[in-house]
Amino acid sequence: MTDRPCLFVTRRLPQAVMEFAHSRFRCTSNPQDRPLCKEEIIEGAQGCQALLCLLTDTVDSEVIEALPGLRVISNYAVGFDNIDLDAATRRGIPVCNTPGVLTSATADLTWALILAVSRRIPEADRYVRAGSFQGWDPLLMLGRELSGRALGIVGMGRIGRAVAKRAQGFDMRILYSKRTPLPPEEALPQAEHVSFEALLGESDIVSLHLPYSEQVHHLIDARALQTMKPGAILINTARGALIDEQALVEALKKRELAGAGLDVYEHEPAVHPGLHDLDRVVLAPHIGSATVEAREKMGFMAAENALAVLQGGQAHSIANPQVLDSKT
């Protein structure tokens, strides 16, 4: 079919997704197994009506203005802070994202980090591999049980609620901070809405699940870390810039916190100096959605979003729906 719209994909996605994209679009994709710079995105997407990009791609006003034929930007992610939403809206270009499909995968990884830090799993693994294990010892690698402890969830969206539901199986007290309490149809009976300061002061584990914006840049700063309970654990599977990483390093070195589990970093792929050197920090390479199921669902949704916009249909999720209102 020669009338299929043109789509540029900025990074190789799961095979099933690429096959779907080729069946619905005149699809071209990044031949390099690495993120593209802005100039490469502009070159690759010239003449295309649709751009399927990743959170690691910078799609700013320069990119958007250099692609006059662009009619839709579909982000392979829940967040879209890599895209200049205002510039896209000025051009009347819908920006789509992929919420919902990675909820379970990210909630599972959050719990993997909670357990890994609480029970010192990576540290114990390194200990055995180094040949240091000499047999059972009553004081060896003592961790912490979760039952009866307080889990504080900052940001109670889909992923935050999924994390809270899993906490019920561990018999934990659940606190959450959000501008307004959850409506009754979304609320969990065991979850208590508290202020951010109260959550920090009362939680044994603080887990971040809110989108990034300038208003929450370094939400967890030196002051917030000092407010946390001595011996608490900090988990971040949301956005790296929510944490002042230097302040975190200092708090961990002083043993003010028991540990941290991080899947995201402020200046990815760089990891802040000092984090590598701390035994009780578990570092993951941004794999919150890294399951076969989640990554395929994300890809199908991203491609379907682009196709729906180009065909005048309804996309699964649009970050700037006002552009559609202006066209009706």
Chain mean pLDDT for the chain:
95
According to DSSP, residue 229 is labeled: P
Closest by CA to 9, choosing from 300, 280, 283, 249, is 300
Regarding whether 124 and 244 lie in a shared domain, the answer is yes
Regarding whether 92 and 111 lie in a shared domain, the answer is no
Residue 282: how many other CB atoms lie within 10 Å: 23
Mean pLDDT of 276-290: 96
Confirm whether 328 is domain-assigned.
no
Regarding whether 256 and 149 lie in a shared domain, the answer is yes
Regarding whether 222 and 117 lie in a shared domain, the answer is yes
Domain of 151 in residue numbering reads as 103-283
Closest by CA to 203, choosing from 232, 223, 177, is 232
Confirm whether 327 is domain-assigned.
no
Residue 1 predicted with pLDDT over 50: no
Residue 153's DSSP bridge partners are: 176, 207
Q: What are the strands of the beta sheet with 50-53, ordered from one edge? A: 26-29, 6-9, 50-53, 72-75, 95-96
Q: How many domains are there within the chain?
A: 2
Mean pLDDT of 111-139: 97
Residue 328 predicted with pLDDT over 70: no
pLDDT digits (tens, 9 = 90+) for 215-254: 999 999 999 999 999 999 999 999 999 999 999 999 999 9
Residue 325 predicted with pLDDT over 50: yes
Which pLDDT score is estimated for 119?
A: 97
Confirm whether 1 is domain-assigned.
no
CB 113 within 8 A of CB 282: yes
Regarding whether 206 and 158 lie in a shared domain, the answer is yes
CATH number for the domain spanning 38: value is: 3.40.50.720
Regarding whether 300 and 185 lie in a shared domain, the answer is no
Task: Cite the DSSP H helix spans in the chain.
Answer: 15-24, 38-45, 61-65, 85-90, 103-118, 121-129, 158-168, 196-202, 222-227, 245-253, 292-310, 322-325
Between 3 and 202, residue with greater pLDDT:
202
Regarding whether 192 and 253 lie in a shared domain, the answer is yes
CB 239 within 8 A of CB 264: yes
Q: What whole-number percentage of the chain has pLDDT above 90?
A: 92
Regarding whether 300 and 205 lie in a shared domain, the answer is no
> Alpha carbon of 238 to those of 1, 87, 128, 141: distances in Å?
41, 25, 31, 28
Q: What is the pTM of this model?
A: 0.90
Active site residue ranges: 239, 268, 286
Positive or negative: CA dihedral 61, 63, 64, 65:
positive
Longest C-alpha distance within the chain, in Å? 72
Regarding whether 267 and 203 lie in a shared domain, the answer is yes
Closest by CA to 252, choosing from 219, 225, 217, is 225
Regarding whether 265 and 153 lie in a shared domain, the answer is yes
